[in-house]
Amino acid sequence: MEAERARRFSFAAKAGATPLRIARSEGVWLYTDDGQQILDAAGGAIVVNIGHGRREVAEAYAREAERAAYAIPPFATESRVRLVERLVDRWLPRGLTRVAFTSGGSESVDAALRIARAHFVAKGESKRWKVIGRELSYHGTTLATLAVGGHTKRRAGLEPWLADLPKAPACYCWRCPLGKSYPSCGVACADEVEATLLRAGPETVAAVIAEPIGGSTAGALVPPDEYWPRLAEICKRYGVLLIADEVMTGFGRTGKRFAVDHWGVTPDILVGGKGLTGGYAPMGGIFATEAVVAPIIERGQEVMFFTYSAHPASCAAADKVLEILEREQLVERAALMGEKLGKRLARLLEHPNIGDVRGRGLLWAVELVADKATKTPFPVDRGLTAKIVAAGIAHGIFVYPGGVDPARDVITFGPPFTISEHEIDLIGERFEQALESALARIH
């Protein structure tokens, strides 16, 4: 593919810039068409869990595309039914028995919000419409999902279209927004969810939505162990639905099937995406309890599908990806290799500009600062994160950019679960090289 043709690709970031030209990918490696080999330390957008280039997934997809290219979402197909059975029997937290699919994370969160609202309308509690989100969160890029999210950069300019919904503080221990520290804080950030709910008026609130472990917005924010059980209690007390957005953390990424499994919590609605198909097909899912769905069914209330919801070939790909995760015990491997990656990244804390290293399983992030003692970020105009990502490509590693003030410069790591120890060492080495090159360019 010549540079000139690649430049016509409409999503190239800057006018005249040539996007990275990927010819193929295999395992944890991306290959460009000019022969460069890049370690995919982010599994794309923290998506690729079983590794690139698995022929059996491509074959399962192709077989289904040939057998049943398209059927409207309410119809049953063999691939749909098989996937639902696998999810309910072997993957989802107990109690989540109702399943619907979409084509991705944003669509799934959007649908989850509509389901939560439909639940209360069907029950005759139509005053309940507000959804409480959190600061420094991301739930997708549709207007409803941006409204419940707290990603100020991605919301910028769209505010007039976004419903003004209450936000609770993030669980961001390294820079606690409440100025406290764990454990003496008593997990006050959970109490703040209750306070937010009370300020909003509990009788007007339909749901609380949160990522069990924050994604790339502020970088792998892991809450204290008490947080999620407390969140579940609060929601129950006020009759509000708890929505766990596991688009990034689901399907093994954090070393358990779902991140809520770290704390034994079953939310009312769980949302998945990314890892469901490991990047092999665009797909997301909404998983709910019978209690959430029953009133909607009783009242015959419609929750409209998307044309490509539950696409048969995507279902076949997802079923095969989950089968591979089970057969190769890759969730357990994510926990094991995650510890090794965490230890390797923790060595970076010796660096004067690495403020924090945090994560769980194979979802890790580093936060960069100009001054470690004061936790002062680099000036915005230095564009440090973007420079690290660009330098990473030059050094043969792809890392995922993140960060929103006050976590201004954040790099997230989320490699395929199949990564080897040697490749983890390479992540450490190449990231250090990329960091030095980027810092040399901004000083």
Ligand X SMILES: Cc1ncc(COP(=O)(O)O)c(C=O)c1O
Residue 132: beta bridge partners? Answer: 208
Residue 75 structure tokens: 């119809």
> Cβ distance 42 to 415 under 8 Å?
yes
Binding flags for ligand X, 187-216, as an x/- string (CB under 6 A): ------------------------x---x-
The Cα-based distances of 128 to 122, 124, 335 in angstroms read 11, 10, 39
In the sheet that holds 29-32, the strands lie side by side as 22-26, 29-32, 37-40, 397-398
**Quick one: which of 381, 373, 377, 361 has its CA closest to 409?**
377
Which is closer to ligand X, CB of 44 or CB of 239?
44
Among 116, 132, 220, 248, binds ligand X (CB under 6 A): 248
Among 9-17, 99-107, 220-228, 370-378, which window interacts with ligand X (CB under 6 A)? 99-107
Q: CB 253 → ligand X: shortest distance, Å?
A: 10
For residue 140, which amino acid is it? Answer: G
Which is closer to ligand X, CB of 131 or CB of 439?
131
Span 56-75, contacts to ligand X by CB under 6 A: none
Span 12-51, contacts to ligand X by CB under 6 A: 45
Of all residues in the shown chain, the one whose CB is closest to ligand X is: 105
Which is closer to ligand X, CB of 256 or CB of 430?
256
Q: CB 149 → ligand X: shortest distance, Å?
A: 8
Among 80, 130, 139, 387, binds ligand X (CB under 6 A): 139
Among 27, 133, 140, 252, binds ligand X (CB under 6 A): 140
Q: CB 182 → ligand X: shortest distance, Å?
A: 23
Among 208, 247, 362, 424, binds ligand X (CB under 6 A): 247
Which is closer to ligand X, CB of 282 or CB of 396?
282
Which is closer to ligand X, CB of 68 or CB of 149?
149
Which is closer to ligand X, CB of 28 or CB of 218?
218
Residue 241 structure tokens: 């639905």
What is the spatial distance between Cα 16 and Cα 7, in angstroms, rounded to a whole number? 7
Which is closer to ligand X, CB of 211 or CB of 423?
211
What is the spatial distance between Cα 133 and Cα 273, in angstroms, rounded to a whole number? 19
Among 219, 273, 342, 377, binds ligand X (CB under 6 A): 273
Angle at 101 between CA 108 and CA 193, to 5 degrees: 35
SS3 300: coil
Which is closer to ligand X, CB of 105 or CB of 342?
105
Which is closer to ligand X, CB of 61 or CB of 138?
138
Return the percent helix, strand and coil in the chain, to nearest 5: 40, 20, 40
The Cα-based distances of 372 to 174, 351, 357, 408, 437 in angstroms read 12, 9, 13, 14, 19
Angle at 406 between CA 400 and CA 411, to 5 degrees: 15
> Cβ distance 402 to 434 under 8 Å?
no
For residue 282, which amino acid is it? Answer: P
Span 101-130, contacts to ligand X by CB under 6 A: 104-106, 109
Q: CB 349 → ligand X: shortest distance, Å?
A: 25
Asked if 155 is part of the footprint of ligand X (rule: CB under 6 A), the reply reads no
Report phi then psi at 401, rounded to 5: -75, 145
Q: CB 107 → ligand X: shortest distance, Å?
A: 7
Footprint of ligand X (CB under 6 A): 45, 104-106, 109, 138-140, 211, 215, 245, 247-248, 273
